[in-house]
Amino acid sequence: MLYWSLKTLLSEPMRLIVSALAVAVSFILVIFFSAVFEGESEQMVAYLEEMEADVWVMQKGVSNMHMSSSMVWDWKADKVAELPGVREVAALLYFNGPVKIGGRDWFSYVIGISPEYSRAGPWALARGKSMPDPGEVVIAEVIAKLTGVGIGDEITLVDRRLKIVGLSKETFSMSSAVVFVSREDLGDLLEGRDQYSYIMVYAEPGVEARALAERIEQEVDKVNALTSDAFIHSDRQLAVQMGAEIIRMMTIIGTLLATLIVAFTAYSLIARKQRELAIARALGFGSGQIYLAALYQSVMITLLGLLLALLISFTLLSWLPTIAPQLNLAIRLHQFVPLALLALPLAILASLGAARTVARVDPMAVFHS
Amino acid sequence: MTTKTIAQATTIQEMIIQADHLTRCFGRGDAEVRAVDDVSLTIKRGEMVLIMGPSGSGKTTLLSMLGALLSPTSGEIVIDGTNISTMKEAALAALRAQKIGFVFQSFNLLEALSVEENILFPARLSAAGVPGARGRLDELLEKLGLIARRKALPSTLSGGEKQRVAIARALINQPPIILADEPTGNLDSHKGQEVMMILHDIARDDDCAVLMVTHDPRVEEIADRVLWLEDGALRDRKSEQHSWVIDPVCGMRVDEWTASVMTEYNDKKFSFCSGRCLNRFEAQPERYLDETKHRVQD
């Protein structure tokens, strides 16, 4: 019966391809949302990763950058710098909020940087200069492309107009872009000219980051010191918590859609082949064997759909950002694991409708001409 | 063991199908119909037996019960020494696979499978499986003249070829019983004759019991026995119940009393030897009516 089900599927290649494509579309939907989520999550911690600090120091009680605010006195940066095991520090002022660019509000990480801590600035520049002076700003190149603004144009940060002097790369995500201003401007805005938000600490060679973080917390009052790994993990977790529900919902919808398509295809195939199933039953095949044939067809359609989804996803998702630069898409192998694991139960579930039909197959139908 | 006991044992061994007081009812209460009513029969190995009778007399219902496809309302069926009346569906399916080969009027081939795949299809249920049936496949392809068509799909075959494939499929597991339901019904007279002779040879050469439901009076000449079924019961057939008419397409003699392929045209009833002749008639009725007139004048 398995051979028959394979041959029956292959005898109608167009129907098979259309069914598999329909399944693939629903899988692609799941993969696409997962890729967007993964890309956005990665982009949200891109700044933290690119800074390559060993330890991040922040206000006591704070453990994130995303959706957080932190204030530490500027002298604490000097104090941290003097601790044994510290090779270098870089401090930044930070504000999390909307920036009006090209007539539209962009939710942004606004980083206030000063020349003495220039490594807190943009790590990849497309055009212009990387260190903004007072009254200047460096924005993400993608925003400039999307809004049509460029170097020399102005943006609005809360109540002040800033002139674009640089365009940075790899600093855009749909949920938050990174905008660089002078520490002076941001300090005025936040009324924190003598404060920083985060202090990045670079350890001497051979100094372990965790031990250094503990030492900083012991030596400097009212600060929280996290290793870079812990800080990035904490921010990533926050992003996952925020997006996980949506992604889970989309995965459920996509999977349900795929199940319905496979079920409909398997059912219609079985319904159209009722007579052949009656022949098989008359010749001595049992209901179990016939059901297995239906299940096999469901599995084939599902796996073919999954394969097509993977091929199309890899092709489409690697090409999509070239026409839609605002999309941060990340395709990782682990994203396909849930789909691959879902495929078999999905096929079994989808074949249940066909099983009902199989159980009703009347072998006496072979006598009808 | 006495001589009488040995004779009885031999007779029982020869019996491949034994039906006792077989009854099958459909519906309930006032709507109940007795499709088969208290039928008892025995069929031996190597015997070719016809079940004939008017349309709606219960022939196919009887064949279905003897083929373990339909359970009787009452009565017992013994196939090759096994009482199947109380068997579960799974056991009946296994019995069909091993003991019974089916040949149907509408061929019932699997469209996606080639000729040899169709023939080998039931072999998957045999103990030897498909590899063990390869030799038998070649033998049957040779015997039924299908060698050149072994890779062809059913859609490319003629009616006669399709029925020969169906016969080969019925024989692949070497069952002791072949049940055929109107095997010539969709074939023209020449192809029908060919199929009948194949079934006759199977009974004679392979020691198979061939039980055939048919309206084709030509088969009577080669059958060992004819069972006449009327209103669900076996009866003696009276000779006056023959009403011979001419098939207007092929000119063959057809018993109007038993013919199942009939149509009405210009308020006149016409009987045909097969569905194929009926189709031809329906395509160009005037042509065949003219030919019938000429035939009568001649």
In sequence order, what DSSP letters do the residues of A195-209 get, joined into one string? EESEEEEEEPTT--H
Q: Distance, in angstroms, between B69 CA and closest chain A CA?
A: 7
What is the 8-class DSSP label of residue A133? P
C-alpha distances in Å from residue B85, one per residue of A115, A211, A236, A285: 97, 84, 69, 19
Taking residues A210-234, what's their average pLDDT?
95
Contact residues on chain A for B98, CB-CB shorter than 8 A: 284
- Tell me how far apart the alpha carbons of residues B15 and B9 are, in angstroms, rounded to a whole number: 10
The predicted structure's pLDDT at residue B293? 58
Contact residues on chain B for A281, CB-CB shorter than 8 A: 93
Domain B47-71+100-234 part of CATH 3.40.50.300: yes
pLDDT per residue over A258-290, tens digit each?
A: 778 877 877 777 777 788 888 888 888 888 888
Kindly identify which residue of chain A lies nearest to residue B175, measuring between CA atoms. A283
The predicted structure's pLDDT at residue B10? 47
pLDDT tens by residue, chain B, 298 residues: 444 444 454 455 578 999 999 999 998 888 888 899 999 999 999 899 999 988 888 998 999 999 999 999 999 999 999 999 888 888 999 999 999 999 988 888 999 999 999 999 999 888 888 888 899 999 999 988 899 999 999 999 988 899 899 999 998 998 999 999 988 877 777 777 888 888 888 888 888 999 999 887 777 778 888 999 988 888 866 555 567 777 888 777 777 766 777 888 888 888 887 777 888 888 888 888 876 655 544 4
Kindly identify which residue of chain A lies nearest to residue B275, measuring between CA atoms. A369
Please name which of B2, B8, B11 lies closest in space to residue B44, comparing C-alpha atoms: B11
Q: Distance, in angstroms, between A266 CA and closest chain B CA?
A: 16
pLDDT, mean over chain A: 88
- Tell me how far apart the alpha carbons of residues B165 and B193 are, in angstroms, rounded to a whole number: 16
Q: Tell the residue number behind the tokens 């019932």, with chain if given.
A: B108
The pTM of the whole model exceeds 0.80: no
Confidence of residue A356 (pLDDT cuts 50, 70, 90): confident
The token pair that represents B220 in the structure block: 């009577």
Contact residues on chain B for A285, CB-CB shorter than 8 A: 93, 97, 125
- Tell me how far apart the alpha carbons of residues A208 and A152 are, in angstroms, rounded to a whole number: 45
- Tell me how far apart the alpha carbons of residues A94 and A180 are, in angstroms, rounded to a whole number: 10
Residue A368 in this model has a pLDDT that exceeds 80: no
Please name which of B60, B72, B61, B102 lies closest in space to residue B210, comparing C-alpha atoms: B102
- Pick the range with the lowest mean pLDDT from A65-74, A341-350, B99-108: A341-350
A10 at interface of B, judged by CB pairs closer than 8 A:
yes
The predicted structure's pLDDT at residue B121? 92
Q: Distance, in angstroms, between B89 CA and closest chain A CA?
A: 8
What is the ipTM for the molecules in this complex?
0.75
- Residue type for A345, please? P
C-alpha distances in Å from residue A68, one per residue of A23, A63, A109, A193, B81: 41, 8, 10, 19, 86
- Tell me how far apart the alpha carbons of residues A222 and A59 are, in angstroms, rounded to a whole number: 7
Contact residues on chain A for B182, CB-CB shorter than 8 A: 369
The predicted structure's pLDDT at residue B5? 45
- Tell me how far apart the alpha carbons of residues A85 and B298 are, in angstroms, rounded to a whole number: 124
Torsion angle, alpha carbons of B50, B53, B55, B61, to 10: -60
The predicted structure's pLDDT at residue B22? 94
The predicted structure's pLDDT at residue B6? 40
The predicted structure's pLDDT at residue B295? 52
